Amino acid sequence: MKLDASTFVRLRRLAPVLDDVLNAREVEHADQSVDLASLAQLCSQLFNAYHCEHPGEIAQARLEALESQQHTSSDLARAA
């Protein structure tokens, strides 16, 4: 799915806040929190648009993620 120019610019502007938070391992400023909320909203919009175009692929990816989580959980239970 191609991004339009406006979406690309917004994503490019908001992406560094995630890197900052990951590096600091905390949200340090209110503006970071606001930017994270904007990034989450944009990501949600992109997901919804992709889902409308490719619902089968999304369903398959969700199924695979669920199966992976179940395997990870059972592996952790056996290790404990």
**What is d(CA 37, CA 58) in angstroms, rounded to the nearest whole number?**
23
Q: Tokens standing for 80? A: 């404990």
Could you read off the pLDDT of 65-79 as tens digits, one per residue?
A: 999 988 777 777 777
CA distance 6 to 19: 21
What is the structure's pLDDT at 12?
96
Q: Are 50 and 58 in contact, with CB atoms under 8 Å apart?
A: yes
Long-range contacts of 61-66 (CB under 8 A, 24+ apart): none
Express each pLDDT in 7-57 by its tens digit. 999 999 999 999 999 999 999 999 999 999 999 999 999 999 999 999 999
